[in-house]
Amino acid sequence: MSSAAPPPLVHYATEADYRAHYTRVYCNAGSPIQTHDGYRVYFPRYQFDHAFHRTDRSTLQKTTVLALDRAERIDWIRWVLQNPGLDTYRGWDNQKKRPRGDRRVIVYGNYVCIIQKDRKGRVMFVTAYVADAVALRLVRGNPKAAW
Protein backbone atom coordinates (compact mmCIF):
# COMPACT_ATOMS: atom_id res chain seq x y z
CA MET A 1 0.00 0.00 0.00
CA SER A 2 1.39 3.37 -0.91
CA SER A 3 1.15 6.58 1.05
CA ALA A 4 -1.02 8.11 -1.68
CA ALA A 5 -4.25 9.83 -0.78
CA PRO A 6 -6.94 7.86 1.05
CA PRO A 7 -10.05 6.60 -0.75
CA PRO A 8 -12.84 9.07 -1.53
CA LEU A 9 -15.50 9.81 1.05
CA VAL A 10 -18.55 7.53 1.03
CA HIS A 11 -21.99 9.12 0.87
CA TYR A 12 -25.12 7.17 1.77
CA ALA A 13 -28.64 8.36 2.49
CA THR A 14 -29.17 6.47 5.75
CA GLU A 15 -27.36 5.05 8.74
CA ALA A 16 -28.58 1.61 7.70
CA ASP A 17 -26.62 2.00 4.45
CA TYR A 18 -23.39 2.81 6.34
CA ARG A 19 -24.02 -0.10 8.72
CA ALA A 20 -24.53 -2.48 5.77
CA HIS A 21 -21.30 -1.18 4.19
CA TYR A 22 -19.35 -1.78 7.42
CA THR A 23 -20.77 -5.29 7.74
CA ARG A 24 -20.07 -6.15 4.09
CA VAL A 25 -16.57 -4.65 3.83
CA TYR A 26 -15.19 -5.30 7.31
CA CYS A 27 -17.19 -7.97 9.15
CA ASN A 28 -17.95 -10.28 6.22
CA ALA A 29 -14.91 -9.50 4.09
CA GLY A 30 -14.11 -12.33 1.71
CA SER A 31 -10.44 -11.95 2.49
CA PRO A 32 -9.11 -10.92 5.90
CA ILE A 33 -8.00 -7.34 6.43
CA GLN A 34 -4.43 -7.12 7.67
CA THR A 35 -2.25 -4.31 8.92
CA HIS A 36 0.76 -3.38 6.82
CA ASP A 37 2.91 -5.53 9.11
CA GLY A 38 0.75 -8.65 8.89
CA TYR A 39 -1.70 -8.56 11.80
CA ARG A 40 -5.18 -9.76 10.88
CA VAL A 41 -7.78 -7.32 12.17
CA TYR A 42 -11.21 -8.50 13.32
CA PHE A 43 -14.20 -6.19 13.05
CA PRO A 44 -17.03 -7.02 15.47
CA ARG A 45 -20.45 -5.92 14.24
CA TYR A 46 -21.17 -4.17 17.54
CA GLN A 47 -18.18 -1.82 17.03
CA PHE A 48 -20.14 0.07 14.40
CA ASP A 49 -21.95 2.07 17.04
CA HIS A 50 -18.76 3.02 18.87
CA ALA A 51 -16.92 3.89 15.68
CA PHE A 52 -19.60 5.85 13.85
CA HIS A 53 -21.71 7.50 16.55
CA ARG A 54 -21.10 10.44 18.80
CA THR A 55 -22.98 11.47 21.90
CA ASP A 56 -25.58 14.18 21.36
CA ARG A 57 -25.33 16.17 24.56
CA SER A 58 -28.11 18.54 23.54
CA THR A 59 -30.70 16.12 24.87
CA LEU A 60 -31.22 15.17 28.48
CA GLN A 61 -30.94 11.47 27.59
CA LYS A 62 -27.48 11.94 25.98
CA THR A 63 -28.48 9.97 22.90
CA THR A 64 -26.04 9.01 20.19
CA VAL A 65 -26.25 10.15 16.59
CA LEU A 66 -24.49 9.07 13.43
CA ALA A 67 -21.29 11.10 13.02
CA LEU A 68 -21.12 11.84 9.31
CA ASP A 69 -17.48 12.96 9.47
CA ARG A 70 -16.68 9.44 10.69
CA ALA A 71 -19.14 7.54 8.52
CA GLU A 72 -18.03 9.23 5.29
CA ARG A 73 -14.47 8.03 5.99
CA ILE A 74 -15.57 4.40 6.43
CA ASP A 75 -13.27 3.24 3.61
CA TRP A 76 -10.31 5.02 5.20
CA ILE A 77 -10.09 2.39 7.93
CA ARG A 78 -8.64 -0.31 5.68
CA TRP A 79 -6.37 2.23 3.97
CA VAL A 80 -4.98 3.46 7.30
CA LEU A 81 -4.42 -0.05 8.64
CA GLN A 82 -2.56 -1.13 5.51
CA ASN A 83 -0.46 2.01 5.05
CA PRO A 84 3.15 1.52 6.28
CA GLY A 85 3.98 5.23 6.02
CA LEU A 86 1.75 6.43 8.86
CA ASP A 87 2.70 7.26 12.44
CA THR A 88 1.65 4.68 15.00
CA TYR A 89 1.44 5.37 18.74
CA ARG A 90 0.55 3.43 21.84
CA GLY A 91 -2.96 3.97 23.15
CA TRP A 92 -3.76 5.52 26.51
CA ASP A 93 -5.04 3.73 29.61
CA ASN A 94 -7.41 6.21 31.28
CA GLN A 95 -7.61 4.23 34.52
CA LYS A 96 -3.88 3.77 35.02
CA LYS A 97 -2.97 7.12 33.41
CA ARG A 98 -0.22 5.69 31.21
CA PRO A 99 0.32 4.41 27.67
CA ARG A 100 -0.82 0.86 27.03
CA GLY A 101 1.08 -1.64 24.94
CA ASP A 102 -1.92 -3.60 23.69
CA ARG A 103 -3.39 -0.67 21.74
CA ARG A 104 -2.25 1.02 18.53
CA VAL A 105 -3.36 4.46 17.42
CA ILE A 106 -2.56 5.01 13.74
CA VAL A 107 -2.61 8.62 12.56
CA TYR A 108 -3.18 10.10 9.10
CA GLY A 109 -3.41 13.88 9.34
CA ASN A 110 -6.18 14.43 11.87
CA TYR A 111 -7.77 11.01 11.32
CA VAL A 112 -7.01 8.24 13.79
CA CYS A 113 -7.75 4.53 13.75
CA ILE A 114 -7.45 2.47 16.92
CA ILE A 115 -6.89 -1.28 17.14
CA GLN A 116 -6.22 -3.44 20.17
CA LYS A 117 -4.92 -6.92 20.95
CA ASP A 118 -7.29 -8.97 23.06
CA ARG A 119 -6.27 -11.56 25.66
CA LYS A 120 -6.09 -14.26 22.99
CA GLY A 121 -3.72 -12.15 20.90
CA ARG A 122 -6.31 -11.28 18.24
CA VAL A 123 -6.26 -7.74 16.92
CA MET A 124 -9.64 -6.06 17.16
CA PHE A 125 -10.88 -2.84 15.57
CA VAL A 126 -11.87 -0.35 18.27
CA THR A 127 -12.76 2.91 16.53
CA ALA A 128 -11.75 5.54 14.00
CA TYR A 129 -12.50 9.26 14.01
CA VAL A 130 -11.48 12.76 13.03
CA ALA A 131 -9.52 14.10 16.01
CA ASP A 132 -9.36 17.68 17.18
CA ALA A 133 -6.04 19.43 17.88
CA VAL A 134 -6.11 18.58 21.61
CA ALA A 135 -6.71 14.87 21.00
CA LEU A 136 -3.98 14.77 18.35
CA ARG A 137 -1.49 16.40 20.70
CA LEU A 138 -2.28 13.79 23.36
CA VAL A 139 -1.96 10.90 20.90
CA ARG A 140 1.34 12.20 19.52
CA GLY A 141 2.63 12.59 23.10
CA ASN A 142 2.52 8.82 23.59
CA PRO A 143 5.44 6.54 22.69
CA LYS A 144 5.54 4.96 19.25
CA ALA A 145 3.74 1.60 19.14
CA ALA A 146 5.66 -1.60 18.57
CA TRP A 147 4.10 -5.04 18.54
Read off the pLDDT of residues 31-67 as tens digits, 9 standing for 90 and up.
899 999 999 999 999 999 999 998 766 655 666 789 9
Name the band, by pLDDT with cuts 50, 70 and 90, for residue 3: low
What is the distance of C-alpha 91 from the center of its chain? 12
Name the band, by pLDDT with cuts 50, 70 and 90, for residue 94: confident
Spatial contact of 52 and 38, defined as CB atoms under 8 Å apart: no
What residue spans define the domains of the chain?
15-140
Is this structure's pTM higher than 0.95? no
- Statement: residue 2 has pLDDT above 60: no
> How would you classify the pairing of strands 87-93 and 63-66?
unpaired
Name the band, by pLDDT with cuts 50, 70 and 90, for residue 26: very high
